[in-house]
Amino acid sequence: MKQFLVVQHTYSEFLGAIEKQLEDRDIGFLYFRPFTGQNLPANALQYDALWLLGGACPVTDRERCPWVDDELRLIRAFRRAGRPIVGFGFGGELVAHALGGTAHAEPEQRAYWTTARSTEAGRDDPVARAVDGRKVLVMTNGHVELPPQVRPIVVDERGDWIAVREGDAYGLLFRPELKPGTVEDMIMEEGRPLPDDIGGILEEARARWQQTQLTTGQVVAALVAALDLMRERRKPPVFALRAVRDEG
């Protein structure tokens, strides 16, 4: 069975609207939660893909996110193993950072609805085509300046990057997994930093929910096609070690 590793960074953010899409494709997923002290896996070989979810802080904030360096090592391990990677929001910025981008702490909170625009670099990319001309919710923290060799495949109305792809790794600042209920959970999460206009973001998420579900379905289908997610990767066998009694 195909098994995805999912790294969760806050209590309220999970695969959300994408979970059922994966389950319908007979894809399993296993959550790891480093913000609770859980250690991340050391390698990529037991998993078919890596998904990195949103967060509440910039990737530069090592005080509140002390696991970031371990997560960057995990991203590099998946890239060496040729396993697909998808990051949303905080996770998307981690992908861009791992590709050589420069991370900045400001602005600490970014959340806005925008019309996505495919770039020339994204002209033939399935994900870029799926969102081109559609309203999407960008929600992330801080900013990652892309290195010269990484060109965005999708930009927002101002021309700022909101999606990159390098080989089998996608970094998305727009959030196809978010449901209105997830945004409500973010607001209720104790001690969580929030964008100033979170009420307006939630109101628009509710109003756009029907269209957003269609966009999410198209994004997932595009990721499946672009990353060949229906193909199960070869995994090394797991051996159970049994103690041997010394009869001597």
Task: Reply yes or no on whether the pLDDT at 246 is more than 60.
Answer: no
- Give me the residue spans of the domains in the chain: 2-227
- Report the interhelical angle of 198-207 vs 209-227 (nearest 10°): 80
Peptide bond into 148 cis (omega under 30): no
**Where is average pLDDT lowest: 35-49, 85-99, 149-163, 234-248?**
234-248
Tokens of 158: 């101002």
Q: How far is it, in rounded angstroms, from Cα 192 to Cα 183?
A: 12
Q: Which fold has domain 2-227?
A: Rossmann fold (3.40.50)
Q: How far is it, in rounded angstroms, from Cα 113 to Cα 136?
A: 6
The burial class, CB within 10 Å (0-12 / 13-18 / 19+), for 101 is: buried
Tokens of 138: 């960008």
pLDDT digit string, tens, across residues 47-70: 999 999 999 999 999 999 999 999
Q: How far is it, in rounded angstroms, from Cα 6 to Cα 17?
A: 14
pLDDT digit string, tens, across residues 131-172: 999 999 999 999 999 999 999 999 999 999 999 999 999 999
pLDDT of residue 11: 95
Number of other residues whose CB lies within 10 A of the CB of residue 230: 12
- Tell me how many degrees the CA angle 224-76-58 measures, rounded to the nearest 5: 85
